[in-house]
Structure 1
Amino acid sequence: MLFTVLSGLITSGLLIPFGKFFKSRWSVLLACLPILLFVYYFSYIPDISLGKTFNQEINWIPSLGVNLSFRLDGLSLLFSLLITGIGSLIVIYASAYLKGHQFLDRFFAYLLLFMSAMLGLVLSNNIILLFIFWELTSISSFFLIGFNNQQKESRKSALTALTITGIGGYFLLIGLLLIVYITGTASIDALFAQASFIQQHAYYPYIVGFVCLGAFTKSAQFPFHFWLPGAMKAPTPVSAYLHSATMVKAGIFVLARFTPILGNTELWSYTLLIAGGVTMVYAAIHSLFRTDLKGVLAYSTIAALGMLTFLLGLGTREALTAALVFIVAHALYKAALFLITGIIDHETGTRDLTLLSGLRKVLLPVFIAGTLAALSSAGLPLSIGFIGKDLIYEATLHGPQQLALYLTIIAVFTNVILVTVGFYAGIKPFLGPLPEAFQKVHLPYRAMWVPPLLLGILAFILGIFPHLLGGSLIQASLQVMDISTAPVNLKIWHGFNTVLLLSIGTLALGTIIYLVQKPTANKLAFIEKFNNLSPKHIFERMGALLLRFSDFYTNKIHNGYLRSYMLKIIIFAEVLIGYELLNSGPISIDFDKLSPISFYEGFNVLILIAAVLFTVSTRSRLSAVVGTSVIGYAICLIFVFYSAPDLAMTQFTIDTLTVVLFVLVLFRLPPFLNFANKLDKIRDGFVAISFGVILSIVALKVLQEPFETQVSDFYGQYAYSLAKGKNVVNVILVDFRGFDTMFEIVVLSIAALGVYSLLKLRLKSSEKE
């Protein structure tokens, strides 16, 4: 399993030096990788359908409990097949859709990187490893969404998606770390056995909140949904792959994976039910008014994701079965509709529903694919979409008795609108008269229209033979999420019952709305009047406030003046240390234990004070340098008085060298420019004196503490035996604190290189301006 995850990463890396060979027709060969991966995982279906689970674990960072641990069960296999299967068709489609693009190799590198990240996410058996792949999907999707980086809107959409999913990732990490903290393990296998312990822990509500926030942002749940319509600025293959079958399903996968661990509680169920219910209704309504094909598909995708969250929140066996079937059904028909939208845009140059019609006359195979996908979306009998909608209604009708009616009404309402918008995307552009502007439209490369046609046909094959799906993948996936081992029996026909009536009614009402309600620019303008109340607008205003605060903070705190930085650092230190001193109680000093101050010590301190006063009062730079040198030499004498000749010699050497360097550099500079007013001088003097007083109190406080020699005894005892050195100070710096010293040297070396580069910098006159 590890190799399958790394294969995409390796191929992505190889496209950097060898990508030029795949900018021509050979780019279709890259589809071999996802096809081989699909075949590899497909071969596991017989074993997985029998309830087997395959594990692989490789030590990575055992000290942090992070291992390359992978688990292949029914749920991860279902998602792996969707990722690799639809990924194969997307690569084939993109090789024709983006043919001749100057950055085609870069596109495939990002796409394969994303595929590997998704595989790693669904296969992870370690929640920290899961989070690493979770973040990798966000980063790789950022590059895919912003692939057309010359367009401002694409860059903005990519940043918005990264921001929202990045914030969600932060909360998800907190939730996962809380789980590790209270259980002591990061293994998902081990967490299954500790589900009851986690649910009874005091941190359980916080874990649910953080995990759900993370999943909701990635799966575009209200109010975090707005990044998904914006992400439609990405090339169509990206939209088809990320926003129908993979990335947005990552949040759904996490909720499904953690259902056995965090589920079956009221907090979990109602959180998912409310979030999913609000999302599906809100997005379904919005999808009715969109005139851009991608906009229609984006909001209908959000509605479908809300439906999946809603079903996971319901949490019954019927609801989980419906969610799993709907994941497959939605991936098939929505990926097909996205690909068809890309073909229409590629051939006609527009995605405006108010302009498109009659394309069946010039794009017949595409029309067939669109019709099959739209009918599966609508839930026509003999399609997998029909079985999915039947299962949804069965789940809501058998839900909590007091809520069953309301849950069913919400589900019917959403599905009716999804029928309508499915017809908008898959059928409407092909019916009616063909406008003159589209007379010269021709059928594109087979690599573009064959993939959506295959997806549409597969939706009906699985609908006609549902046991191919139910008896293997759905059954195995359900065993991971539900303790019941009852067999899953998907049927085409359940007889005349309430569920069938609801399905027929949904199809009929959706068709009627499709025939009566047509999206127009006026209707879209009407709905956009309420944009000021939308979550997107609220988040944008919050972002604007954050920018204004950042601007204020930067100008006030990071204003570029060293004296300002020093002042703030010292004030902060004074407040922090002063607060601690106040809380630590009174100070009592036994002066009898202090050695008396000799005449030469007192005289040396007077010289030091005089040097300080001279340094801060002079207007000459050279005089200030001389004053600081006197201060340094006075401190050297203090070290000598208190038996620290090594420190005195070091101080003396550094001080002398510093004085020489300052004199060489500063003697040509003008006198000090005195910008500070009288109040600033008083403030600075007060801060400086306060800092000196606080440090004096700290020194006196230290004298109260009993003298401990454990550390010094350790170094003295082991300096020679462990490090073979007789100079204890050198041994501490080089051996016991070797890494610290090494990084200090690295920092100084980098600083030296920076200074040297500035000294050697030669700017042109235009650059200086």
Structure 2
Amino acid sequence: MLFTVLTGLITSSLLVPFGKIIKTKWSILLPFIPVILFLFYLWHVPVIANGTNVIQHLAWVPSLGVNFDFRLDGLSLLFALLITGIGTAIFFYGRSYLKGHVYFDRFFAYLLLFMSAMLGVVLANNILTLFVFWELTSISSFFLIGFNNDSKESRNSALTALSITGLGGFFLLAGLVLAGNIADTFIISELFAQHDKIANHPLYPLIVGLVFIGAFTKSAQFPFHFWLPGAMKAPTPVSAYLHSATMVKAGIYLLARLTPALGSTELWNTTLMIVGGFTMVYAAIHSLFRTDLKGVLAYSTISALGILTFLLGIGSDQAIIAASVFILVHALYKATLFMVTGIIDHEAHTRDLTKLSGLRKVLMPVFIAALLAALSSAGLPSTFGFIGKDLIYEATLHYHHNWAIWLTALAVITNIGLVAAGFMAGIKPFTGKLPSEFEQVHLPYKSMWIPPLILALLSLAFGIFPGIVGDYFNHQTANAIAGQETSMHLKIWHGFNTVLILSLATLAAGTVVYLLNKPSRAKLAAIEQFNKISPQHIISNIANGITRFSSVYTNAIHDGYLRSYHLKIILFAELLLAYKLWLGGPIQIDFENLTPLSWYEVGIVAMLIGALYIIVTTRSRLTSVVSTSVIGYCICLLFVFYSAPDLAMTQFTIDTLTTVLFVLVLYKLPPFINFVRQGILIRDAIVALGFGVIISLIALRVLYEPNTTAISDFYGENAYLLAKGKNVVNVILVDFRGMDTMFETVVLSIAALGVYSLIKLRLKSSEKE
């Protein structure tokens, strides 16, 4: 499984140096990467269908509990097949859609990176590993959403999506780490057995709240939903892949995966029902007012995600079965409709529903795919959407509380809106009279219209033979979510009952709404009048307030002068250390136990004070530098007197090198120093004296602290045993502080890259101005 995750990552990195080759005929090789991965996971279907889970463990940073732990069960297999299967369709589709694009290679590098990140999320069986891939999905989607980087709207949409999902990731990490610490394990499958321990812990509400923020931001639940319609600025292959079948379902996957560990409580279930229920109704209604095809699909996607959250909140076996089926139902028809929208936009150069009609006459295969997807979205009998809708109604009708009728009513209202929205996206552009400006529209490359047609036909095939797909795919998915056997078996006919009546009534009502609803800019403008109280407007105002505060803070604190930074850092350190000393009480000094001063120590200190006096009074830069070096050498002598030759040699080397560098740098500066105002000199002197006094007090206090050697003893005893090194200092730096040293190296490398980039930067004359 690790190999499948690394395949996309490695290929993505190779597209950077070899991108020009990929732009040629060799681009045909790109779609076969998800094909191979899809076949690999398809091969595991019989194993998983029998209830066997595949586990892989590879040690990474075992001391921190971070390992490559992967687990393939019914839930992760379904998502892996969606990621690679729909990914295959998108890769073939995108290869033609972006043919000739100047950033063709870059697009597929981002897409491969995203595919690997999503596979890592759904396969990870370690909390920290999951989070790493979770954040990688946000980063890669940022590049995909902002792919058209010459467009300000695309850049803003990418930043909004990254800000919302990135912030959610921060809260998610906190929640996951808290849960792992309480359960004393970071292995996700081991958390399931610790459900009672976590649920009864005082921090359980905080954990659930943090996890919910992470999941809701990623899966566009109210009030974090607004980033998803904005993300429609991305190329259509991105929308079809990320925003219908994969990325936006990452939050749903997380909630489903953690249900056995955190679910089955009133807090968990009620919150999910409320948030999911409101989101699905709110977005379904909003989709009816959109005039842009992508806008319709964006809001209907948010509504579908709300349905999945709502079902997970209900939490019964029937609701979990419905969720496991609807994940696949929605992915098939929504990916199809997105790709159809891309074809329309590619050929007709518009997505405006007020202008589109009659395209069936010139795009018949595309119309067939769109029609099948729209009918599956509506839940027409014999389509897979019909099975999904029936299961939703069964889950709400059999809810054990008195709310069953109200939950069912919400589901009916939502599905009516989704029926109309599906017809708006899949039927409206193809029916009616063909306008003259679209008479020249023709079918695109076969690789563009065959993938959506295949997905649409799968919706029909799965609807006719639901037992097969249920037994091999959805059954174990439901079991993985529930954490127990769900006794699931899908059938195309359950008899004439209340559920069937509701399904037919929903289909009829949705059709009526579609026929009566005429999207127009006037209706859209009317609903946009409420934007002032929308979550997007409120959060944007908060963000603008933070930006203004940051500007004031930056201008006040970060003024660009190194001396100012030094002053503020030293003042902060003084206040912190003085506060700590004050908490420790008065310092008791036993002068009788202090070592008496020798004449050479007094002489060295006198030389040091003399050099210091010269530094603060001289006007010569060179004299100041030489006097500074005298102070350093005096400290070297003190180290020697107190039997620390290694420190003395280090001080001597650094001081000599620093002096040489100072002289080389100051060679180009004026030889004399222009002193600043007298008040500033007095201020700096007070700060410097205060720092020296505090350090002296700390040294005196340390003299009377108990001398514990536990840490040094540990390093001395284990340096060779654990790290096979005889030099304790080197072992501490390389092994015991390996992570710290690694990050220091990363920081230096990034700084070096930045300096190198600035050196190599060649601006145009217009950019310089």
Asked if 1 retains the 8 angstrom alpha-carbon contact of 2:284 and 2:417, the reply is yes
Q: Which amino acid aligns with 1:156?
A: N
Task: Give the equivalent residue in structure 2 for 1:671.
Answer: 672
Q: Which amino acid aligns with 1:9?
A: L
Distance (whole Å) between structure 1 residues aligned to residue 761 and residue 461 of structure 2: 70
Task: Give the equivalent residue in structure 1 for 2:365.
Answer: 365
Asked if 2 retains the 8 angstrom alpha-carbon contact of 1:25 and 1:95, the reply is no
**How has the CA–CA distance of structure 1 residues 364 and 691 changed in structure 2, closer, same or farther, with 3 Å as cutoff?**
same
Shift of residue 687, structure 1, vs aligned partner: 1.7
Shift of residue 221, structure 1, vs aligned partner: 0.8
Shift of residue 748, structure 1, vs aligned partner: 13
Shift of residue 363, structure 1, vs aligned partner: 1.1
Q: Which amino acid aligns with 2:186?
A: A
Asked if 2 retains the 8 angstrom alpha-carbon contact of 1:377 and 1:385, the reply is yes
**How has the CA–CA distance of structure 1 residues 765 and 665 changed in structure 2, closer, same or farther, with 3 Å as cutoff?**
farther
Q: Which amino acid aligns with 1:495?
A: G
Task: Give the equivalent residue in structure 2 for 1:439.
Answer: 439
Alignment of 1:446-525 (within 5 A): 446-525=446-525
Shift of residue 352, structure 1, vs aligned partner: 0.5
Specify the SS of the correspondent of 2:510. Answer: helix
Alignment of 1:331-410 (within 5 A): 331-410=331-410
Distance (whole Å) between structure 2 residues aligned to residue 217 and residue 531 of structure 1: 20
**How has the CA–CA distance of structure 1 residues 732 and 196 changed in structure 2, closer, same or farther, with 3 Å as cutoff?**
closer
Q: Which amino acid aligns with 1:524?
A: L
Shift of residue 93, structure 1, vs aligned partner: 1.3
Distance (whole Å) between structure 1 residues aligned to residue 761 and residue 390 of structure 2: 74
Shift of residue 620, structure 1, vs aligned partner: 3.7
**How has the CA–CA distance of structure 1 residues 394 and 676 changed in structure 2, closer, same or farther, with 3 Å as cutoff?**
farther
Alignment of 1:298-309 (within 5 A): 298-309=298-309
Distance (whole Å) between structure 1 residues aligned to residue 327 and residue 275 of structure 2: 18
Query: 1:142-179: CA deviations, max 9, x gaps?
Result: 22222222222222222222221111112221122122
Distance (whole Å) between structure 1 residues aligned to residue 395 and residue 334 of structure 2: 23
Specify the SS of the correspondent of 1:52. Answer: coil
The alignment of Structure 1 onto Structure 2 pairs a total of residues equal to: 764
Specify the SS of the correspondent of 2:30. Answer: helix
Query: 1:500-530: CA deviations, max 9, x gaps?
Result: 2221221122111111111111111122222
**How has the CA–CA distance of structure 1 residues 515 and 553 changed in structure 2, closer, same or farther, with 3 Å as cutoff?**
same
Distance (whole Å) between structure 2 residues aligned to residue 723 and residue 513 of structure 1: 72
Task: Give the equivalent residue in structure 2 for 1:188.
Answer: 188
Asked if 2 retains the 8 angstrom alpha-carbon contact of 1:639 and 1:648, the reply is yes
Shift of residue 35, structure 1, vs aligned partner: 2.5
Distance (whole Å) between structure 1 residues aligned to residue 615 and residue 392 of structure 2: 82
Query: 1:286-338: CA deviations, max 9, x gaps?
Result: 21111110011001100100110010011011111111111111111111110
Shift of residue 356, structure 1, vs aligned partner: 0.6
Q: Does 1:266 align with 2:269?
A: no
Distance (whole Å) between structure 2 residues aligned to residue 306 and residue 124 of structure 1: 24
Alignment of 1:698-717 (within 5 A): 698-707=698-707
Structure 2: state its 5+ residue gaps: none
Alignment of 1:154-173 (within 5 A): 154-173=154-173
* Percent sequence identity over aligned pairs: 63
Distance (whole Å) between structure 1 residues aligned to residue 525 and residue 255 of structure 2: 36
**Stretch moving more, 293-302 or 431-440:** 431-440
Task: Give the equivalent residue in structure 2 for 1:49.
Answer: 49
Task: Give the equivalent residue in structure 1 for 2:226.
Answer: 226
Distance (whole Å) between structure 2 residues aligned to residue 86 and residue 407 of structure 1: 32
Distance (whole Å) between structure 2 residues aligned to residue 394 and residue 749 of structure 1: 59
Task: Give the equivalent residue in structure 1 for 2:545.
Answer: 545
Alignment of 1:94-173 (within 5 A): 94-173=94-173
Task: Give the equivalent residue in structure 2 for 1:684.
Answer: 684
Asked if 1 retains the 8 angstrom alpha-carbon contact of 2:180 and 2:191, the reply is no
Distance (whole Å) between structure 2 residues aligned to residue 484 and residue 653 of structure 1: 67
Specify the SS of the correspondent of 1:529. Answer: helix
Q: Does 1:82 align with 2:82?
A: yes
Distance (whole Å) between structure 2 residues aligned to residue 709 and residue 46 of structure 1: 59
Shift of residue 705, structure 1, vs aligned partner: 2.5
**How has the CA–CA distance of structure 1 residues 261 and 613 changed in structure 2, closer, same or farther, with 3 Å as cutoff?**
same
Distance (whole Å) between structure 1 residues aligned to residue 401 and residue 99 of structure 2: 56
**How has the CA–CA distance of structure 1 residues 534 and 372 changed in structure 2, closer, same or farther, with 3 Å as cutoff?**
same
Distance (whole Å) between structure 1 residues aligned to residue 221 and residue 134 of structure 2: 17
Distance (whole Å) between structure 2 residues aligned to residue 605 and residue 281 of structure 1: 79
Query: 1:372-424: CA deviations, max 9, x gaps?
Result: 11111111111111111111111111114221122112111111111111111
Asked if 2 retains the 8 angstrom alpha-carbon contact of 1:24 and 1:99, the reply is no
Q: Which amino acid aligns with 2:288?
A: L
Structure with max Cα Rg: 1
Shift of residue 117, structure 1, vs aligned partner: 2.0
Q: Which amino acid aligns with 2:445?
A: Y
Specify the SS of the correspondent of 1:101. Answer: coil
Distance (whole Å) between structure 1 residues aligned to residue 546 and residue 259 of structure 2: 36
Distance (whole Å) between structure 2 residues aligned to residue 15 and residue 623 of structure 1: 56
Specify the SS of the correspondent of 1:194. Answer: helix
**How has the CA–CA distance of structure 1 residues 692 and 522 changed in structure 2, closer, same or farther, with 3 Å as cutoff?**
same
Distance (whole Å) between structure 2 residues aligned to residue 570 and residue 150 of structure 1: 44
TM-score, normalization: structure 1?
A: 0.90
Structure 1: state its 5+ residue gaps: none
Task: Give the equivalent residue in structure 2 for 1:65.
Answer: 65
**How has the CA–CA distance of structure 1 residues 711 and 213 changed in structure 2, closer, same or farther, with 3 Å as cutoff?**
closer
Query: 1:32-54: CA deviations, max 9, x gaps?
Result: 23223323322333332222222
Task: Give the equivalent residue in structure 1 for 2:580.
Answer: 580
Distance (whole Å) between structure 1 residues aligned to residue 591 and residue 654 of structure 2: 35
Specify the SS of the correspondent of 2:493. Answer: coil
Distance (whole Å) between structure 2 residues aligned to residue 346 and residue 421 of structure 1: 21
TM-score, normalization: structure 2?
A: 0.90
Asked if 1 retains the 8 angstrom alpha-carbon contact of 2:622 and 2:671, the reply is no
Query: 1:40-99: CA deviations, max 9, x gaps?
Result: 322333332222222222333322223322222211221122222211111121122122
Distance (whole Å) between structure 1 residues aligned to residue 456 and residue 751 of structure 2: 64
